Chain A
C-alpha cells in the first residue's frame, strides 16, 4: 500500500496531506492525554506501535503470485481507539519513507490516510459493531484486524485510481486494475493479520487483563477479577 515517492501528482499529494493532517494532530492530542491520564498505558502503547512495526516489515507471499505486507494497525485501534493509531502508523510510515525509500514524503499524506486513518477506523467500526451483537471477543478482534488491513489496501487502490484513471474506462477501469494488484493480494494476508492479532490479544488476556479491562476491551469476571486487581 506504499505509494512510492513522487508517484502521486502534486495536487493529489497535497490534498491527501491536508485530509490526513487533522487526524494526526487530533491523534497526538489523544496520545498525550492517554499517557498523562494513564502513565501505565505507555508500555502497552509501545507494544501496539511495535506490532505495527513488525507486521509492516514482513512481506509475505500471496495467492496472486506477488508479495505484500500486513499493517498491524487493528490491534492498537481496538485497544486505544483509532486516533492513537493515526500517530503510531505515521511514525512507522515515516521510518519507512526516510530509511527504506519505501513510500515517500510526498506520498506520506496518502499513505497515512490509508494505513493510519481509514484502516484503523474501519477495523474499529467492525469490532464495535460485532461487539454490540455479543460476538465473542476473539472473533471481533479477528474481523477488526482483518478489515483494518484490507480496507487500507482498498483505499490505496482508490487513491491511485483517482490519480491515474484509465484512458478508456476511466476511474472504474483503473480501480479494477489497482484493486487486482492490491486488494485481492491482500485477502490471505488480512486473514494472517487477523490470526496474529488474535494471538497477541490472547497473550494480553493472560498477561495484562487489568489493562484490557481498563481500556474496555475485556470484562471483569470471576477468577480473572482477582488478576485484574493486581
Chain B
C-alpha cells in the first residue's frame, strides 16, 4: 500500500519534469527566434561580441568534437556514464536489503526449527 503510493509520487515527479521540458516547445516559445531553442551558452558568446565587438578569444579548445553528431554522442556518453553509476548504486543497495531480509528469514526459520526440536 505505502509502496504503491511511493511509486505514484515518484512517477508524478518525473511527469512534472517532463512537462516542464516539453511545454516550452509545445507552446511554441521558440517561435520568431532566429535560432529557436539555441543554447544559452552560445547566446552569451553572441552577447559578448555585441558588447565588445573587438574581443578575440585568446585561447581555443585543445580538442573539439569534429561535428555536431560526435558532440551529441559525447554528451550522451556523459549522461550514460552518470546514469550507469546511479543505477549501479541503487542496484547494490536493493541487493543488500534483499540479502539482509533473506538472511533474517532464514535465521528465524532455523530458530523455529530448533524450538520445535526441543519441545
Residues on A lying within 8 angstroms of B by beta carbon are 1-7, 9-10, 43-44, 46-47, 49-68, 95-102, 104-106, 156, 160, 164-167, 174, 177-178, 181-182, 185-186, 188-189, 191-192, 195-196, 198-200, 202-203, 206-208, 230
Pick the contact of A167: B13, B51, B62, B83 (CB < 8 A): B51
- Residue pair A230, B89 in contact (C-beta under 8 Å): no
- Residue pair B48, A160 in contact (C-beta under 8 Å): yes
Residues on B lying within 8 angstroms of A by beta carbon are 6, 9-10, 13-14, 16-17, 20-25, 29-31, 33, 36-41, 43-45, 47-48, 51-52, 55, 57-65, 71, 74-76, 78-79, 81-86, 89-90, 92-94, 96-97, 100
Report how far A61 CA is from B36 CA in the complex, Å: 10
Nearest to B14 among chain A residues (CB) is A199
- Residue pair A230, B37 in contact (C-beta under 8 Å): no
- Residue pair A66, B43 in contact (C-beta under 8 Å): yes
Distance between A208 CB and nearest chain B CB, rounded to angstroms? 5
Interface of B is mostly: helix
What are the residues of chain B within 8 A of A62 when measuring CB–CB?
24
Interface of A is mostly: helix
Nearest to B19 among chain A residues (CB) is A192
A-B contacts, 12 listed (Cβ < 8 Å) = A1-B40, A47-B90, A50-B82, A63-B24, A65-B29, A65-B36, A66-B40, A68-B41, A164-B52, A177-B51, A199-B14, A202-B9
Known contacts A43-B89, A43-B92: A53-B57 contact under CB 8 Å = no
Q: Which of B36, B82, B85 has most A Cβ within 10 Å?
A: B82
What are the residues of chain A within 8 A of B83 when measuring CB–CB?
50, 54
- Residue pair A53, B71 in contact (C-beta under 8 Å): no
- Residue pair A164, B51 in contact (C-beta under 8 Å): yes
- Residue pair B59, A106 in contact (C-beta under 8 Å): yes
Nearest to A160 among chain B residues (CB) is B44
Nearest to B26 among chain A residues (CB) is A61
Pick the contact of A100: B13, B60, B75, B81 (CB < 8 A): B75
